[in-house]
Structure formats: C-alpha cells, structure tokens
C-alpha cells in the first residue's frame, strides 16, 4: 500500500481546496455535525473512519472537527491508509469565524462553488 500524507492547513488553504471540489469530512458526532458544519461536508465520525475510509470519494480529503484535534488524528489515519488529507487548523470554529458557508441539520447541504470562487479569486 502506498503511503499518503497528512498536513494541517489554515482556513484559507482549506477553503481553496473545498472550492476546487475536494471532499470535506466532518469527523465529529452526528449531534455536533447537526449544530453546524462546513456546507457540503460528509459526516464520518472519527470512531468509524477506519472502516469507512475505503468507501470515501477518490482524491484529496479535508478533515474538520470543532477546533482541529480530532481532524488531525483523522488526517493521520487516512494517510496511513494511503490517502492525502488536509486537517483544518481551528476547525469549524475558524471556518465560521472567517465567514465561510456553514449548514445546520443532519444533511450536508449544497455548496455553491462558483460564487465562492469569484469572491475568493476575483
């Protein structure tokens, strides 16, 4: 098996990867996820990630939690399974504080990348 990589990134890097179409994994509990998550994020709690990892979409993954601790562990777990993962420093708290899209409820929500891309990159 090839070895992937894990990296902790700030919100600006994560938003650019999100806007480019990378999959966001929220590794918190379903209850935490429902209180507010990155729009479009899939909810895969950290405790279930090892089993679910093989069924995740291809490509780079962005892991996020409340403040960054669990997402950092998730990124390393994914790297050991050969995936490339970015962990969001500061988690959804930092994402929300920077004014980026957050959705409440149990479903991912729909991310609208085109408007965000224009706003970010002019």
Tokens read off for 105: 């409820």
Tokens read off for 28: 């918190």
How many angstroms separate the Cα of 81 from the Cα of each of 23, 31, 40, 48, 104?
16, 27, 23, 14, 30
Q: What's residue 3's pLDDT?
A: 72
- The pTM for the full model equals 0.87
How far apart CA 50 and CA 41 sit, in angstroms, is 18
Catalytic residue numbers?
A: 65
At 33-70, the pLDDT tens digits run 999 999 999 999 999 999 998 899 999 999 999 999 99
- Please report, for the chain, the start and end positions of each structural domain, with discontinuous segments joined by +: 5-121
- How far does CA 35 lie from the centroid of its chain? 16
Q: What's residue 120's pLDDT?
A: 42
User: CATH for 5-121?
Assistant: 3.40.250.10
Task: Please determine, for residue 21, whether its predicted confidence score (pLDDT) is greater than 80.
Answer: yes
Task: Please determine, for residue 27, whether its predicted confidence score (pLDDT) is greater than 90.
Answer: yes
pLDDT tier for residue 121 given thresholds of 50, 70 and 90: very low
């Amino acid at each position: 098996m090839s070895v992937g990589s894990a990296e902790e990134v700030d919100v600006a890097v994560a938003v650019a990867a999100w806007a480019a179409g990378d999959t966001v994994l929220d590794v918190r509990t379903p209850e935490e996820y429902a209180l507010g998550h990155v729009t479009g994020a899939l909810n895969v709690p950290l405790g279930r990630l090892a089993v679910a990892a093989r069924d995740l979409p291809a490509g780079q993954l962005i892991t996020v939690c409340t403040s960054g601790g669990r997402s950092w562990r998730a990124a390393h777990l994914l790297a050991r399974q050969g995936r490339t993962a970015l962990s969001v420093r500061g988690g959804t708290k930092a994402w929300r504080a920077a004014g980026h899209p957050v959705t409440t409820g149990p479903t991912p929500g729909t991310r609208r990348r085109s408007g965000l891309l224009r706003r970010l990159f002019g």
